[in-house]
A and B are shown apart, each in its own frame.
Chain A
Amino acid sequence: KAGVTQTPRYLIKTRGQQVTLSCSPISGHRSVSWYQQTPGQGLQFLFEYFSETQRNKGNFPGRFSGRQFSNSRSEMNVSTLELGDSALYLCASSLDSGSYEKLFFGSGTQLSVL
C-alpha cells in the first residue's frame, strides 16, 4: 500500500509569489491534515480536512489556505510568500477523524522563500 505522497519535494520561491503544495493520502484515508515545521517553532497545525470539509484551522494568517477533493487528495496554497514561510510542510492522513488512530505522514515539501 502506497504511503502519503507529497509533491513537489523541494520548492524555491521569491517573496510575494504564491505556491501550491499537493498531498495524496493513503488509499482509503479520508482525513488529511497539514503541518508546518520550522527549527524555531517546531511542528504547528495548519488545517484538517475530511470529506472535502475543513473541520479545523490553526492560527495562521489567511494567506494560508487549503482544499480537499472528492478523491481525498488535498492541496494547500500560500499566497504573497514571506521569508518566514520557509519551512518543511508536512501532510498527514488517517482513516477517519484520527482521534483514535495513528496519523501517517508524508516526506514533506521543503519550501525556501528567497
Chain B
Amino acid sequence: KQEVTQIPAALSVPEGENLVLNCSFTDSAIYNLQWFRQDPGKGLTSLLLIQSSQREQTSGRLNASLDKSSGRSTLYIAASQPGDSATYLCAVWAGAGSYQLTFGKGTKLSVIP
C-alpha cells in the first residue's frame, strides 16, 4: 500500500527566504506526482504535475523535482512571500486502474513579513 509522508508538518520562515518542502513515498511505481496548495477551509489548487518520466517542473517561483528511485520529491519556493502561507500537499497517482491520488498530510507554511 502506497504511503506518502511530508516532513516537517509545519514550517515558519521570514519573508524573502528560499525554502524546500519534502515529500517521500514508499512505492516507486508511480505514474505522476502532484503538488497542491490549500488555503484554510478551501479546496486544493494544483501547483505542479511531474510525470514519472520527468525529473522536474517549474512554474514561476516554484520548482518541483522527482526522484522515483529514492521515492522522493521536493518543492522549492524561491523568494517566499506572505501570500505563500498555506498548506502544501503532495500526492501520487497510485498506478494503472487505481484512478486515485494518495496524499501526504501536508506541510503548513507560514511566511512571516
Contact = CB atoms under 8 A, between A and B. Distances in A.
B97 A103 contact: no
Contacts of A103: 34, 46, 101
B99 A102 contact: no
A60 B31 CA distance: 24
A45 B34 contact: no
Nearest to B32: A100
Contacts, number: 62
A8 interface: no
B42 interface: yes
Interface string B23-56: 0000000011010100001111110010100000
Interface residues of A, number: 29
Nearest to B100: A45
A105 B98 contact: no
B73 to A, nearest CB: 15
A105 B101 CA distance: 12
A72 interface: no
B104 A56 contact: no
B105 interface: yes
B103 interface: yes
Contacts of A45: 100-102
Interface string A78-110: 000000000010101000011111111111101
16 contacts: A6-B43, A31-B99, A33-B100, A43-B89, A55-B97, A88-B41, A90-B43, A90-B44, A97-B99, A99-B31, A99-B93, A100-B31, A100-B51, A105-B43, A105-B46, A107-B43
